[in-house]
Amino acid sequence: MNEKLLQVKNISVDFGSGRKKVRAVNDVSFDIYRGETFGLVGESGSGKTTIGRAIIRIHPVSAGEIFFEDQRISGKITSQQDKELTRKIQMIFQDPMASLNERAKVDYIVSEGIWSDRSISPARRREMVAEALDEVGLLPEFASRFPHEFSGGQRQRIGIARALIMKPEFIIADEPISALDVSIRAQVLNLMSELQKKRGLTYLFISHDLSVMRFICDRIAVIHKGKLVELCETEKLFRHPLHPYTRALLSAVPQPDPDSEKNKVLTTYDPSMHDYSSDLPVWAELEDGHFVYGNQKELDSYREMLRY
């Protein structure tokens, strides 16, 4: 984890214009290292999915830059660069039903990304589809079926196969298990972990569920209303959460012990608790790899918390 695969530098994303302009992402920066699973967690509407879509160039950035393998991919790029990025960066979408073409068979859905490559013969394309389906735990004969014939977990596996057939280096997983039954979630997470080890993949894992993030992520960034408020290694975040919003999110994680769950005290987060009128907040590294957003007074209190 010493090679930066993706660098997000001070990006902002706006929607609308004039008086109706809304800033969904505000001055966000982070790096993702090759081979790691980087988690982006926050409540609905916090901007986490918008960041993922900005990386994959669905949403243009209003400010800042995004670099992939030391090449700028935000703004205008050549058609050749765009084609190469489409192969190297793939996305697994949240809703496995809405993201699959209901009128197309699985064979076409999975192989759609390689149809433009005329060097691949129809026979080889069918082989690649069968290999991708087998890799995600589906039978090759499923290629002749339609999406509505599958369960939610199977449809999400088809979505993963569609991404894998491109042989990507970086996959953005946008809440890939939130629409699945609880019994299926662990299977999909285990599948993603196995594929990462086998193929050397790098993930940006987007979710609102911190208990899931703890299972699969190496580092986690917490986002609130388009602004990163904390970033550090996963276990360090669970042991020493500093920002009040992070502590509020962690307090809402269900406990497996009924007695602990019954007696736990929920922490509420009130943004008005911050006074940034004179002491402006900054994004600061308080210890190795542990970043927090706050003003000087807050940062001093966070440093005090790390001592104990």
What whole-number distance in Å separates Cα of residue 1 and Cα of residue 215? 18
pLDDT in tens, 233-253: 999 999 999 999 999 999 888
Specify whether 235 is located in the same domain as 261.
no
Specify whether 221 is located in the same domain as 266.
no
What whole-number distance in Å separates Cα of residue 10 and Cα of residue 36? 21
Question: Which of 216, 240, 264 finishes a domain?
Answer: 240
What whole-number distance in Å separates Cα of residue 196 and Cα of residue 200? 5
The pLDDT confidence band at residue 1, using thresholds 50, 70 and 90, is low
pTM (predicted TM-score): 0.92
Q: What's the number of domains the chain is made of?
A: 2
Residue 35 near residue 219 (C-beta atoms within 8 A):
no
- Residue 91: phi, psi to the nearest 5? -130, 140
Identity of residue 48: K
Name, in order, each residue with C-beta under 8 angstroms of 31's C-beta and a sequence gap of 6 or more: 4, 6, 7, 8
Specify whether 160 is located in the same domain as 293.
no
Question: Which of 186, 206, 240 finishes a domain?
Answer: 240
Model pLDDT, residue 67: 97
Q: Please compute the mean of the pLDDT values over residues 249-269 and round it to a whole number.
A: 81
The mean-pLDDT minimum among 40-49, 116-125, 184-193, 251-260 falls in: 251-260
Specify whether 99 is located in the same domain as 132.
yes
Question: Which of 240, 274, 299 finishes a domain?
Answer: 240
CA dihedral 41, 46, 48, 53 (to 10 degrees): 170
Specify whether 233 is located in the same domain as 265.
no
Q: What is the CA radius of gyration of the chain?
A: 21
What whole-number distance in Å separates Cα of residue 290 and Cα of residue 249? 17
Strand partners, 278: none
Model pLDDT, residue 31: 97
Domain carrying residue 296: 241-308
What whole-number distance in Å separates Cα of residue 241 and Cα of residue 231? 10
The chain-wide mean pLDDT, for the chain, equals 92
Residue 110 near residue 161 (C-beta atoms within 8 A):
yes
Percent of the chain with pLDDT over 70: 100
The pLDDT confidence band at residue 124, using thresholds 50, 70 and 90, is very high
Residue 143 near residue 90 (C-beta atoms within 8 A):
no
List the CATH number of the domain containing 54: 3.40.50.300
Percent of the chain with pLDDT over 90: 72
What whole-number distance in Å separates Cα of residue 20 and Cα of residue 46? 18
What whole-number distance in Å separates Cα of residue 159 and Cα of residue 138? 12
Specify whether 300 is located in the same domain as 223.
no
Model pLDDT, residue 186: 87
Residue 148 near residue 155 (C-beta atoms within 8 A):
no
Read off the tokens for 17: 């214009």
Specify whether 56 is located in the same domain as 111.
yes
Specify whether 40 is located in the same domain as 66.
yes
pLDDT in tens, 164-187: 999 999 999 999 988 788 888 888
Specify whether 76 is located in the same domain as 217.
yes
Specify whether 128 is located in the same domain as 269.
no
Specify whether 272 is located in the same domain as 198.
no
Residue 171 near residue 5 (C-beta atoms within 8 A):
no
Model confidence at 267: pLDDT above 90: no
Specify whether 282 is located in the same domain as 161.
no
